[in-house]
């Protein structure tokens, strides 16, 4: 019960530490009959991996995934899929001076107090490195969603105070991948890039936002009461390292509206029932209504800085900490595939759950 | 698997519909030995119940809870606690004209599509009435938290575009309960009240925000990876009817800061290790760090309006809907105890989970 | 986590004590669209209720079930079904002399040590009275199984050392219900009845066995590895009060056979693939093979005797206990519907689980 | 939800197939602070591994376990422990002639029907090879139990119709390991050995029983109602390949007794409350009473025979099957550590669960 299992029918069990031999995940509940190979998973891992651009950490990891079980002759068998990703570039010595010192706004202090010990190297289990396993599992979920036409697309919508003004409907994967920032707005992407390089030069970091759209969602995913689709998405997003907020549809801005301005009126567009507007963000009463699911996630600036900070050690003595190591100056470019993967896990789980809603 | 079970060790199973004979909850996992009677639960239910002020729905419900099991001679026995709250003021006829029509931004359409049928009266299972069971269960969780000194306090921080400017440390329960709005800022509370009465007169509704603080939290609640404390709080909050967003600590504002501005530096205050600032909102790496937990929830304007709205019926024909019935013009005053209850469920669950973190 | 929740997709949450106001259950995960009323549930409860014959306890309980939620206009809505069964004949004073004394082979001692307190009246949560809720939930599961043609039939196969010799294929519900013993073998049923009346006269009790067949099971229910169909049946059966053993197919007798004698050879009977024999008991590799599921359950003699027994009290002093109260001299006649109900819960859960085995 | 997850607080997730690159398990919920290395796990794996004696399959597997996560500097960190056991001796070609044919009493037919495909080599997921992962996980559970003095000991009590007559209290690990049969009764062990060698020569197989005792169990493990300790043990044992029955305490023999003969009378032995006899098998009302837990498991003869058998193929045509490959003539000698491991998982899970029974 270490909090490492996600999902109810499509479950992911995540394991591994930053500086151990490998990180991995087991996917339990993948239906039999899905064509699957490492080549389906690797591209999403490549979007997440370190060292992919000048904006991210220069730790060298190929993040090459191996499927150890659950697939025979390129087809899933309905049994657990074990995913294995070796760690290649551990540099535990970077962490020697942190042995007794709590890095500010990191998990050092809380792990130490919770467990009575901690894995110092690379932050151990609290490292964003372990999201490699999440992403690998998410790639399988995406393949299942793809069989029903469901598509997930996330992008960087803000870095520091620089925001995109693009209409969400104009955004394409090509535009997103055009810039190392993963912001589809060319002009703003350039400003974001400058900002990230500037804070990196200072040894500092900067926050950002990611927005995500899920298209072609069938009506009926999500459960009433506690397992509302937006509730499970919120949990998924807040489980990502450094995330501090989640909004669906109108979010905090909808608060200022009156119901007569906010309500999404139903219309018949010939083929199906739609809504004129989508302030609901594609979910009503916890259940998808067929409109695009549309949510945003806030990420704080990375807490590991390459500048001196005051802190305390395990004895409570004040210390000045000077961190070494290879770190991201801004988390959002690499968090895009993580947001997509977690969204895929939630949707895939609810897709399977929806098979049991009605008597046949 | 209807999404009606919340928690892992301290579990709540919620049942009931707006216009059935009763709503209720079963609490599974309450430790033996807790003094408990209906008198411990009723006050929180009274904060949630309809008809308590001129700002809320005038549906008359005493919301009187009965404990049917799990307590003998005023002490919990460690077995499930069944909580029963009779419905008294069903007026199903108010809903006759909605039988074939989907109310905008309500759950009518999604339930109908998901289940092939729906319980029209009062919205059935999608009604906020079922949160009575959540609140009753939350009151038990609060009693357990109270044995460890943990205290939860929520208040209305925004209605429409009216916000409080009060320092969170100056807020007391007395100030919150001073106004029917549950905003502790007397001046702003008055403006909020005017706003709510004004939209009610129009047959319209308005959104709002609730902020919640949890004090005296021990270090070590929450699990790494997926069951981070903030992730479970986010899920809990997004499961509340009409909620559209969640932030912890610096939230979406922290996005604009650099790490050197955002990091909470550790200090030794003599008795314990604290942080100078609390932009983390009391949680680091998914685990409580002993500072106040501090989060906010956005609520959209209630979707049920007492003014005509265009919509479609189950056949896809366009219709003008004129709703009758008794509804809240603004959900936040009554949502305060729901936010508190859900926060209590999350914290109590993690308090029990934390008992298994270390080898004895 | 008091052990009161059963199932993964079709879940039952059970609550209540022997001498509280009521016992009940919440069924979570029943698909929408099932016609359901109290009249579907009551007959199975009547098979379990006390006072139904001269062979069972004379406690008077009508065990009248009320459905409090989850059903509208006689159809399930896909939301939790709350089942409520009032207790009518509490006689807590029968238990006054047991307040400080542990009844032999009962749960008094273990509950007291586990929880630090116990609910003396009627054994509280350890009473077989709480199986009323199990049976009510099982009746709903049976209705779902019935829509797929799956039928469950259990009977008394042994009381003391008296066994039936009937061929299982000749057994009908009529034969089973012909005798208050629920043994379909008229001659042996008479001997069993005499035995039960004889031990009752002595203030003593006697053990027995129940055998259960499930017919028309589709191939493919059950999961590999830990959630094998027989594993879940074994758990279900061993959770019934007083049960001490479970066998599937050849059971302990199969141990003495060689593989060449034991193996069930596949044959093609024209319509489908069957096996010549059924020593597997209808399950192979944890998954139903389409043959009848065939298992047996052993029940020890009821531990509550109406004769003096030596024991100790909560202080450890030796005591002579003389129990009063109304008790069953033999548990198996009333346990037949409990076995059927628990089998139904397991099969219904796996029926829903099987919907997610394959990609669509 | 492929049935590959066991436990509630101490969870094991099992993955792998007979002829894939590896089998493994992830242990989630192991408390922090336990000294742990591969050397703690290997001995139990060695008891299970093939090729260890002339009585078992000659497949050559060293079953060398690697710990990939969750342990730093020889101490568990409270995070998931990933266990990896490479497969070395896959001989998939042994299975070519089975591609289209269903082996009698094996899982071939049911897997094929459930999933629409199957992993023929070595039985894929249905192979007993995957129990290596169970045993590795169980070894960790045993280390935890050991910190509280709880000890588990299983032995072969029957092969074919040959049974031991030894008093259970006289049995020691040395006696058990003295014979390759793992029967502690030297005389009967010899007869069992002859029987196994005899059936092997015939290309046939034979069934057997295993009995298991758990000593020094604290009072209070197990939960009322569905998660009774014996119910979870029954599930664990029936999940083991080839098991067909489970009894606790008096089992099917207790059925013939009267309550006055069967009840275990409480006595005060000075230090603690005990029972004179132990027909309850150490569990009353689902909860351990401090006496030895005592249960037995029946295993059918292995279904893979090295003699011709009639069967059908995937087209329904009758076929004569002649199996090649390396198989066990009798499963019980190698099943002893599996029974011990599964018992350890159940007890460790309930040990952690018991931490939450009472308010502190």
Candidates A204, A258, A285; nearest CB to B199 = A258
What pLDDT is stored for residue D150 in this prediction? Answer: 98
Q: Which residues does A220 contact at the CB level (< 8 Å), separation at least 6?
A: A287, A288, A354, A357, B110, B113, B114
Please give the full DSSP string across C74-131, using - where no structure is assigned.
TEE-SS-EEEEEE-----GGGGGGGTTBPPTTSSHHHHHHHHSS---GGGGGGSGGGH
Candidates A24, A80, A125; nearest CB to D4 = A80
Q: Is the pLDDT of residue B214 over 80?
A: yes
Q: Which of D26, D110, D268, D274 has the most C C-beta neighbours within 10 Å, making it the best mutation to test the interface with C?
A: D110
HSE-CB of C325 using CA atoms within 13 angstroms: 27
Quick one: average pLDDT of B266-271? 92
Rounded to a whole number, what is the distance in angstroms from the first to the last CA of chain A? 35
What percent of chain A shows pLDDT beyond 90? Answer: 82
Give the chains touching B; criterion: ≥3 Cβ pairs < 8 Å: A, C, D
Closest residue of chain D to A74, computed from CA coordinates: D119
pLDDT tens digits, one per residue of A122-132: 678 898 899 99
Label residue C31 by pLDDT band (50, 70, 90): very high
Contacts of A283 in chain B (CB under 8 A): 110
Tokens representing D82 are 């990933």
What pLDDT is stored for residue D92 in this prediction? Answer: 58
3-state DSSP call for residue B274? strand
List A residues 316-355 in contact with C (Cβ-Cβ < 8 A).
352, 355
3-state DSSP call for residue B324? coil
Candidates B6, B207, B267; nearest CB to A256 = B207
Instruction: Please answer yes or no on whether B107 and A2 come within 8 Å at the CB atom.
Output: no
Strands A283-284 and B71-72: unpaired
Label residue A6 by pLDDT band (50, 70, 90): very high
Tell me how many residue pairs between chain A and chain B have CB atoms under 8 A apart. 381
List B residues 53-72 in contact with A (Cβ-Cβ < 8 A).
none
Contacts of D265 in chain C (CB under 8 A): 104, 309-311
**Cα distances (angstroms) measured from residue C355 to each of A10, C222, C295, C303, D239:** 13, 11, 25, 42, 22
What pLDDT is stored for residue C120 in this prediction? Answer: 72
pLDDT tens digits, one per residue of D304-356: 999 999 999 999 999 999 887 778 899 999 999 999 999 999 999 999 999 99
Please give the Cα distance from C110 to D334 (Å, whole number): 34
- As a whole number of Å, the CA-based R_g of chain C is 21
What pLDDT is stored for residue A19 in this prediction? Answer: 83
Distance from CA of residue B175 to its chain's centroid?
A: 20
Q: Is A210 touching C (CB cutoff 8 A)?
A: no
**Cα distances (angstroms) measured from residue B118 to each of B122, B126, C323, D311, D314:** 11, 10, 52, 50, 44
Q: Is the pLDDT of residue D234 over 80?
A: yes
CB contact at 8 A, B15 and B4: yes
Candidates B4, B285, B357; nearest CB to A225 = B4
Instruction: Please answer yes or no on whether C109 and D312 come within 8 Å at the CB atom.
Output: no
Quick one: average pLDDT of A61-90? 93
Please give the Cα distance from A194 to A188 (Å, whole number): 10
Task: List C17's β-bridge partners, or say none.
Answer: none
Tokens representing D280 are 């309850």
Q: Which of D105, D109, D323 has the most C C-beta neighbours within 10 Å, making it the best mutation to test the interface with C?
A: D105
Q: Is the pLDDT of residue B96 over 70?
A: no
Please give the Cα distance from A342 to D93 (Å, whole number): 40
Closest residue of chain C to D345, computed from CA coordinates: C226
Instruction: Of C85, C87, C80, give the one whose Cα is nearest residue C38.
Output: C85
What pLDDT is stored for residue C90 in this prediction? Answer: 64
pLDDT tens digits, one per residue of B16-45: 998 889 999 999 999 999 999 999 999 999
Contacts of D114 in chain A (CB under 8 A): 32, 78
What pLDDT is stored for residue A89 in this prediction? Answer: 72
How is the beta sheet containing B208-215 ordered, strand by strand? A162-163, A151-159, A208-215, A293-299, A243-248, B243-248, B293-299, B208-215, B151-159, B162-163
Instruction: Please answer yes or no on whether C78 and A358 come within 8 Å at the CB atom.
Output: yes
Label residue B95 by pLDDT band (50, 70, 90): low
- Using CB atoms within 10 Å of the CB of residue A108, give its burial: 0 to 12 exposed, 13 to 18 middle, 19+ buried: buried
pLDDT tens digits, one per residue of B220-259: 999 999 999 999 999 999 999 999 999 999 999 999 999 9
Question: How many degrees, rounded to 5, is the angle at CA C196 between CA C190 and CA C199?
Answer: 140
Instruction: Of C242, C217, C167, C241, give the one whose Cα is nearest residue C230.
Output: C217
Quick one: average pLDDT of A103-109? 93
Distance from CA of residue A90 to its chain's centroid?
A: 23
CA distance B33 to chain C (A): 8
Residue D175 CB coordination number (10 Å): 17
Quick one: average pLDDT of D58-79? 92
Candidates C23, C77, C119; nearest CB to B124 = C77
Quick one: average pLDDT of A160-169? 92
Q: Is the pLDDT of residue A37 over 90?
A: yes
pLDDT tens digits, one per residue of B142-186: 999 999 999 999 999 999 999 998 988 899 999 999 999 999 999
Quick one: average pLDDT of D219-231? 97
Cα-Cα-Cα-Cα torsion A91, A97, A99, A104, nearest 10 degrees, comes to: -100
Q: Is the pLDDT of residue A95 over 70?
A: no
Location of structure tokens 């366009």: B318
- Using CB atoms within 10 Å of the CB of residue B62, give its burial: 0 to 12 exposed, 13 to 18 middle, 19+ buried: middle
Quick one: average pLDDT of D70-94? 87
CB contact at 8 A, C193 and C55: yes
Please give the Cα distance from B352 to C203 (Å, whole number): 45
**Cα distances (angstroms) measured from residue B309 to each of A205, A285, B300, B304, D225:** 48, 19, 18, 10, 52
Label residue A327 by pLDDT band (50, 70, 90): confident
Q: Which residues does B71 contact at the CB level (< 8 Å), separation at least 6?
A: B36, B37, B77, B81
Please give the Cα distance from A145 to A124 (Å, whole number): 32
Q: Is the pLDDT of residue C322 over 70?
A: yes
Q: Is C312 touching B (CB cutoff 8 A)?
A: no
- Using CB atoms within 10 Å of the CB of residue D253, give its burial: 0 to 12 exposed, 13 to 18 middle, 19+ buried: middle
Instruction: Please answer yes or no on whether A267 and B318 come within 8 Å at the CB atom.
Output: yes
- Using CB atoms within 10 Å of the CB of residue A147, give its burial: 0 to 12 exposed, 13 to 18 middle, 19+ buried: middle
pLDDT tens digits, one per residue of C206-233: 999 999 999 999 999 999 999 999 999 9
Question: Which is higher by pLDDT, B58 or C283?
Answer: C283
Tokens representing A17 are 């530490």
Please give the Cα distance from A217 to A256 (Å, whole number): 28
Quick one: average pLDDT of A167-189? 94
Tokens representing B220 are 């070590």
CA distance C186 to chain D (A): 20
What pLDDT is stored for residue A34 in this prediction? Answer: 97
Instruction: Please answer yes or no on whether B147 and D355 come within 8 Å at the CB atom.
Output: no
Please give the Cα distance from D244 to D105 (Å, whole number): 13
**Cα distances (angstroms) measured from residue C321 to each of C94, C104, C204:** 13, 9, 14
CB contact at 8 A, B259 and A301: yes
What pLDDT is stored for residue B93 in this prediction? Answer: 62
Instruction: Of B318, A225, D34, give the one whose Cα is nearest residue C77.
Output: A225
The interaxial angle of helices B38-48 and B332-353, nearest 10 deg, is: 140
List D residues 77-106 in contact with C (Cβ-Cβ < 8 A).
102, 104-106
Closest residue of chain A to D120, computed from CA coordinates: A72
What percent of chain B shows pLDDT beyond 70? Answer: 97
Distance from CA of residue B265 to its chain's centroid?
A: 32
Q: Which of B7, B24, B105 has the most A C-beta neighbours within 10 Å, making it the best mutation to test the interface with A?
A: B105
Q: Is C9 touching A (CB cutoff 8 A)?
A: yes
Please give the Cα distance from A149 to B131 (Å, whole number): 35
Please give the Cα distance from C29 to A103 (Å, whole number): 46
**Cα distances (angstroms) measured from residue C126 to each of B317, C15, C18, C110, D255:** 57, 11, 8, 10, 21
CB contact at 8 A, B6 and A235: no
Closest residue of chain B to A128, computed from CA coordinates: B225
What percent of chain D shows pLDDT beyond 70? Answer: 97
Instruction: Please answer yes or no on whether A262 and B236 come within 8 Å at the CB atom.
Output: no
Tokens representing D268 are 């005060």
What pLDDT is stored for residue A117 in this prediction? Answer: 84
Instruction: Please answer yes or no on whether B68 and C115 come within 8 Å at the CB atom.
Output: no
3-state DSSP call for residue C246? strand
Tokens representing A159 are 């870095």
Candidates A9, A14, A125; nearest CB to D1 = A9
Please give the Cα distance from A24 to A68 (Å, whole number): 11
Contacts of B29 in chain D (CB under 8 A): 356
Contacts of A205 in chain B (CB under 8 A): 258-259
CA distance B352 to chain D (A): 6
List D residues 149-178 in contact with C (Cβ-Cβ < 8 A).
158, 160-161
List C residues 211-230 in contact with D (Cβ-Cβ < 8 A).
219-220, 222-228, 230
Q: Is D13 touching A (CB cutoff 8 A)?
A: yes
Q: Is the pLDDT of residue D65 over 90?
A: yes
Please give the Cα distance from B304 to C134 (Å, whole number): 40
CB contact at 8 A, D209 and D220: no
Give the chains touching C; criterion: ≥3 Cβ pairs < 8 Å: A, B, D
**How much is the mean pLDDT over chain C?**
94
Please give the full DSSP string across D152-203, using - where no structure is assigned.
EEEEEEEETTEE----GGG--HHHHHHSTT--S-HHHHHHHHHHHHHHHHTT
CA distance A88 to chain D (A): 14
Burial B116-134 (b: 16+ CB within 10 A, else e): bbbbbbbbbbbbbbbbbbb
The stretches of B20-59 forming alpha helices (DSSP H) are 38-48
Quick one: average pLDDT of D175-188? 96
List A residues 27-46 in contact with C (Cβ-Cβ < 8 A).
29, 31-34
Location of structure tokens 């044992």: D237
Q: Is the pLDDT of residue B92 over 60?
A: no
* Ramachandran angles phi, psi of C24, nearest 5°: -170, 180
Sign of CA dihedral B274, B275, B278, B280: negative
Q: Which domains does chain A have, with CATH numbers?
A: 5-354 (3.60.150.10)
């Amino acid at each position: 019960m270490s909090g490492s299992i996600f999902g109810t029918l499509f479950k992911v069990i995540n394991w591994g530490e930053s500086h151990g031999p490998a990180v991995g995940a087991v996917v339990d509940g993948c239906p039999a009959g899905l064509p699957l190979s490492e080549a389906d998973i690797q591209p999403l891992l490549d979007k997440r991996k370190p060292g992919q651009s000048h904006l991210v950490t220069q730790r060298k990891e190929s993040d090459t995934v191996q499927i150890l079980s659950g697939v025979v002759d390129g087809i899933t068998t309905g049994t657990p899929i074990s995913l294995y990703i070796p760690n290649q570039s551990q540099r535990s010595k970077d962490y020697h001076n942190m042995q007794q010192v709590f890095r500010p706004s990191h998990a050092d202090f809380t792990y130490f107090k919770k467990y009575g010990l901690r894995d110092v190297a690379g932050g151990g289990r609290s490292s964003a490195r372990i999201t490699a396993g999440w992403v690998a599992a998410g790639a399988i979920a995406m393949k299942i969603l793809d069989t029903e036409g469901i598509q997930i697309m996330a992008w960087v919508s803000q870095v520091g105070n620089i925001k995109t003004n693009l209409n969400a409907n104009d955004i394409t994967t090509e535009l997103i991948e055009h810039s190392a920032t993963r912001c589809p707005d060319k002009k703003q992407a350039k400003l974001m890039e400058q900002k990230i390089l500037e804070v990196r030069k200072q040894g500092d970091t900067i926050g950002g936002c990611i927005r995500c759209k899920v298209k072609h969602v069938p009506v009926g995913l999500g459960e009433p009461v506690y397992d509302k689709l937006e509730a499970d998405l919120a949990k998924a997003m807040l489980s990502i390292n450094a995330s501090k907020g989640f909004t669906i549809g109108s979010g905090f801005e909808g608060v200022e509206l009156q119901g007569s301005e906010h309500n999404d009126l139903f219309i018949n567009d010939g083929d199906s029932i739609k809504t004129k507007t989508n302030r609901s963000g594609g979910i009503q009463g916890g259940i998808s209504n067929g409109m695009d699911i549309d949510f945003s996630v806030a990420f704080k600036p990375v807490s590991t800085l390459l500048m001196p900070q005051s802190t305390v050690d395990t004895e409570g003595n004040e210390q000045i900490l000077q961190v070494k190591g290879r770190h991201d100056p801004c988390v959002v470019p690499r968090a895009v595939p993580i947001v997509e993967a977690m969204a895929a896990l939630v949707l895939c789980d609810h897709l399977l759950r929806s098979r049991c809603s009605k008597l046949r």
